[in-house]
């Protein structure tokens, strides 16, 4: 029986400004050679001054709505994954609804760091199960540069800004582009301190008139995160495939979180998925956290790397730690 949870449209948006490794060399003591060999990243996109998370989300949303062939007015819910919302209150999803000109929708944000899109898909499945007629915009977006410490070479070369979105609904009399076959999510709060953006939160408040310190920005124990990322993503992919009586051979395209080419290659090797079946765009955008998977998914779909009949496996890992895997059928 086909899954009732279908994707009707895909879209993504990245800001115009391309920042090359050569430009990063002018900001911190680094080199194109170091960034390329350690991460695979060649360039990333930076939001323009004044361009907020909701602005990027809006563009991705418009693209996904156009691909689905529906108007924003037909949406019932907006689920937005981010760790860099426009502001603390209100959530970023309501601001997107206002910018879309449809301000009376049910809007919520999800924060699961880089796994945000996969968590948002699970939330969307829940909404669709509760509300059979729901039409949900599920968008994942980051302006990571708003929380990047450009004096910290160990993190600032890694990140970029962007947004990706899908329109989801239950299977009705409409053509499904893809359906969600299954989702597995996990987290381990014991390791939360390894990847954080603490500053400004209630435990690490920024008092009136105080200057933001280092903890206002992304802080990451890179090597530790690397180790856990590979292991946890491998395990959850294997478990999800086994639960669905599939093996890695049954996957036509594998789309892992785009944080580091070495992690992507290591994961492909461990899962015995050859690199020609692994989608990679980390060289163009760096790590866009929650937006990474929907940007890659939309690019893969638009480029023809995904074709009807394909089985696609998504996986992600991020702060929390949170991680997950999603099985899609096209």
CB of 280 to ligand UT7, least distance (A): 14
CB of 38 to ligand UT7, least distance (A): 4
77 is a catalytic site residue: no
Contacts (CB under 6 A) with ligand UT7, residues 91-150: 114
The span from the CA of 18 to the CA of 102, in Å, is: 32
Q: For residues 290 and 85, is the Cβ–Cβ distance under 8 A?
A: no
287 is a catalytic site residue: yes
Binder among 290, 317, 323, 326 for ligand UT7 (CB under 6 A)? 317
Conformation bin of residue 245: beta by default, left when phi > 0, alpha when psi is -120 to 50? left
The span from the CA of 106 to the CA of 93, in Å, is: 9
CB of 107 to ligand UT7, least distance (A): 25
CA nearest neighbour of 236 among 83, 72, 122, 94: 122
The three-state secondary structure class of 121 is helix
Cα-based distances in Å from 192 to 65, 80, 84, 189, 220: 35, 22, 17, 5, 10
Binder among 56, 81, 136, 229 for ligand UT7 (CB under 6 A)? 229
- Tell me the two tokens of residue 173: 């009399």
Q: Per CB under 6 A, does 157 bind ligand UT7?
A: yes
Binder among 62, 153, 198, 270 for ligand UT7 (CB under 6 A)? 153
Span near ligand UT7 by CB under 6 A; candidates 5-13, 85-93, 219-227, 271-279: 219-227
Catalytic residue, from 107, 111, 257, 260: name it.
257
Bridge partners (DSSP) listed for residue 256: 315
Would you give the binding string for ligand UT7 spanning residues 239-258, x where CB under 6 A is met? Answer: --------------------
CA nearest neighbour of 255 among 177, 313, 294, 299: 313
Q: Per CB under 6 A, does 283 bind ligand UT7?
A: no
The span from the CA of 299 to the CA of 297, in Å, is: 6
Kindly tell me which of 30 and 146 has the beta carbon lying closer to ligand UT7. Answer: 30
310 is a catalytic site residue: no
Catalytic residue, from 77, 91, 107, 114: name it.
114
Q: Contact positions toward ligand UT7, by CB under 6 A?
A: 30, 34, 38-39, 114, 153-154, 157, 222-223, 225-226, 229, 259-260, 263, 287, 317-318
**Catalytic residue annotation:** 114, 257, 287
């Amino acid at each position: 029986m086909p899954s009732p949870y279908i994707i009707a449209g895909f879209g993504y948006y990245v800001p115009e400004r391309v920042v090359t490794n050569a430009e990063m060399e002018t900001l911190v003591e680094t080199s194109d050679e170091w960034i390329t060999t350690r991460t695979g990243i060649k360039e990333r996109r930076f939001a323009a001054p004044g361009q907020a998370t909701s602005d990027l989300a809006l563009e991705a949303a418009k693209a996904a709505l156009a691909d689905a062939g529906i108007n924003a007015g037909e949406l019932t819910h907006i689920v937005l994954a981010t760790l860099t919302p426009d502001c603390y209150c209100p959530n970023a999803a309501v601001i997107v609804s206002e910018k879309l000109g449809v301000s009376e929708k049910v809007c919520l944000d999800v924060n699961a760091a880089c796994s945000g899109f996969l968590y948002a898909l699970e939330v969307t499945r829940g909404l669709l199960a509760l509300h059979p007629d729901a039409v949900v915009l599920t968008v994942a977006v980051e302006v990571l540069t708003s929380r990047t410490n450009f004096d910290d070479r160990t993190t600032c070369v890694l990140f970029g800004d962007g947004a990706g979105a899908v329109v989801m609904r239950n299977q009705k009399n409409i053509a499904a582009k893809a359906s969600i076959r299954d989702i597995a999510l996990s987290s381990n709060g014991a390791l939360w301190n390894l990847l954080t953006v603490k500053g400004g939160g209630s435990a690490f408040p920024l008092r009136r008139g105080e200057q933001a310190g280092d903890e206002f920005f992304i802080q990451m124990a890179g090597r530790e995160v690397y180790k856990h990322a590979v292991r946890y993503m491998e395990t959850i992919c294997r478990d999800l495939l086994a639960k669905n009586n599939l093996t890695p051979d049954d996957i036509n395209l594998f789309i892992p979180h785009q944080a580091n080419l070495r992690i992507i290659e290591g994961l492909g090797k461990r899962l015995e998925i050859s690199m020609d079946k692994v989608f990679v765009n980390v060289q163009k955008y760096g790590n866009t956290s929650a937006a990474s998977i929907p940007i890659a998914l939309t690019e893969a779909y638009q480029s023809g790397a995904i074709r009807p009949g394909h089985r696609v496996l998504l996986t992600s890992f991020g702060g929390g730690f949170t991680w997950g895997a999603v099985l899609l059928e096209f």
